[in-house]
Structure 1
């Protein structure tokens, strides 16, 4: 029991350190991208934390298998370097028992990855892209910076001189939009008003910007016809419920729904989601014999080949995901030969390591 706790602690501490570094690098890169979008007024600053949190399961799904793989290599490499494994073997704790001990923390990591892959990641992706799609499809006061012209996509530019304290009303509003005339030609519509506020139609779910005391101009360069409308109250539809992004792709669907679909995209996503947790015990079989190093070589002797082995495994799975989704690879074959190949490689390396070790 003491040996189990000791080995498990060494593996999990090393895994946590590696995962922390990788997560910091990946999340830092994504945060910088979102922060640039917020600085440009494309998304409100208040959304940054939510978007990063929704991305977390997807990051962990990819990071944890690699971190656990490296955790075994580094932790056991240090134990071999310090001759601790030699002492354990001399005390009757053979390689087979060490492998069984290693499989117990592998089971914990497998459950964590399965939770992310089968449930949290698709849910987080859907919520994340829904938030971004809603933000892109509407003009939201929370993203407006008073005194600046800001582009909100789809040919819409907005300006407001000031906002009240709770950001519910704008003063001195300017909106420029690209629209289609009745004859199908493009037209620029410019609207100016003394103030405005947002409201949502409870029946249709459409969002409107209600403007007060202003003018609306419909002009187009090269045409000698223009429209002018003076209004006391004018409502501009910012988005429709039906216009929101339809996130029907297989990657956004819950895992339970994918079982009822026989499309190539659904089958590809289903196999990918099960492949992530399945990687953990296979990577454990690969890492255990590769962690055996000669004290003269150092603990990093086999680290680079092991990383390339993990990269090849993941790259083949990604290639199979794309091939199945395109219909170029039959779902019945799918990713299973890849898992089987690396499983056999892990069993062969484990057996070879035992024979070399005299066991």
Structure 2
């Protein structure tokens, strides 16, 4: 969790330095991203902890003694399923309730942060893509440090019918007056309204001096995607992207339990082998399953596979792998 948070902080610092993100929103955004990642971090942490701890028991021949004392694999399985079951319930709660809530707040926070764009921090020669690609800002350079920008270019896509392009010789932010957000003064401005629909027409406007509010036309939050949609809303949806997201949420808790069972079998090693001997194989198994689930989600979203079995096919294969691997433990015990 600490490594993930550190990486997220480094990623957000770049946006802060470029004026695309408010400084006071960093901690909140890092916390929301961490909540989203917990549904993946917790199962893999439990999975590796079982492999490492049981690997140490095998390396020290302690499992050999336990088998001699008539400790059965089923007893070992029950001991593992108690913490694994608690972890699976927590992961299911995170996936079904916490993750969509965090995604919704993260999208809203990121969107509103970009509305308060710090124009004085924009660097020359850089394209700034915000609002999911619906707005692009570029300045060729500055007359001096934090001074007026030269050759300003702004592209706004409001809807599927029109595209708005603004080109100005110079531009600079005006001091806030307390009544509105940051205002931008543009000089020698040309505005191009480009029609995207067959029944619309193009328009060209020019002005010597123009004062604009970058947030004036942004009155509504962006439409949320499937990841930020509450689970109850997904249950009523027939959209393939929503169905894929819903199946993923229900599969996380089940896969946590199944991975724990597989970890029991993968922890067994050869005599005098260290507890790290099976970690490489365990990671290959985990990433194979994660890649398969991701592929199934993508195929389902694009209609290449049906809603059934959908993502559940990967879960079924994992269940068969868990049953086969645990049966090998039972046969080895005999």
TM-score by length of 1: 0.73
Gaps of 5+ in 2: 130-135, 157-163, 192-204
- 1:139 corresponding residue in structure 2: 117
Query: Which whole-Å deviations, capped at 9, do the CAs of 1:189-224 have from their partners, x for residues lacking one?
Result: 756687333545xxxxxxx4468xxx7633359xxx
Tell me the equivalent position of 1:315.
291
CA distance in 2, matches of 1:42, 1:237: 13
Check conservation: 2:173, 2:183, Cα contact below 8 A.
Answer: no
How many Å separate the matches in 2 of 1:102 and 1:289? 12
Aligned to 2:256: 280
Secondary structure in structure 1 of the residue aligned to 2:82:
helix
Task: Give the structure 2 partner of residue 300 of structure 1.
Answer: 276
Deviation at 1:107, TM superposition (A): 0.8
Q: Is the alpha carbon distance of 1:185 and 1:330 closer, same or farther for their aligned partners in structure 2, counting shifts above 3 Å?
A: closer
Q: CA deviation at 1:51?
A: 1.0
Question: In 2, distance between residues paired with 1:179 and 1:353?
Answer: 62
CA offset digits 1:224-264 (Å, max 9, x no partner): x963459xxx67352434454222x2111011110010110
C-alpha change, 1:34 and 1:114, in structure 2 (3 Å) is same
Paired residue secondary structure (1:238): coil
Cα pair 2:168 2:186 within 8 Å, conserved: no
Any conservation in 2 of the 1:217–1:229 contact (CA below 8 Å)? yes
After TM superposition, give the deviation of residue 28 of structure 1 in Å: 2.5
Residues 18 and 123, structure 2, Cα contact 8 Å, conserved in 1: no
RMSD in angstroms over aligned alpha carbons?
3.4
**Cα deviation 1:48-85 (Å, max 9, x = unaligned):** 11111000122211111111111111001111222222
Pair member with larger Rg: 1
CA contact (8 A) 2:255 2:318 kept: no
Q: Aligned partners of 1:194, 1:87: CA distance in 2, in Å?
A: 78
Instruction: Compute the TM-score of the two structures, normalised by the length of structure 2.
Output: 0.78
| Paired residue total | 304
1:155 corresponding residue in structure 2: 137
Equivalent residues of 2:22, 2:116 under 8 A apart:
no
The answer for the alignment partner of 1:218 in structure 2 is: 188
Q: State the structure with bigger RCO (CA 8 A, min sep 6), 1 or 2.
A: 2
Superposition deviation, residue 298 in structure 1: 2.4
| Distance (whole Å) between structure 2 residues aligned to residue 307 and residue 30 of structure 1 | 23
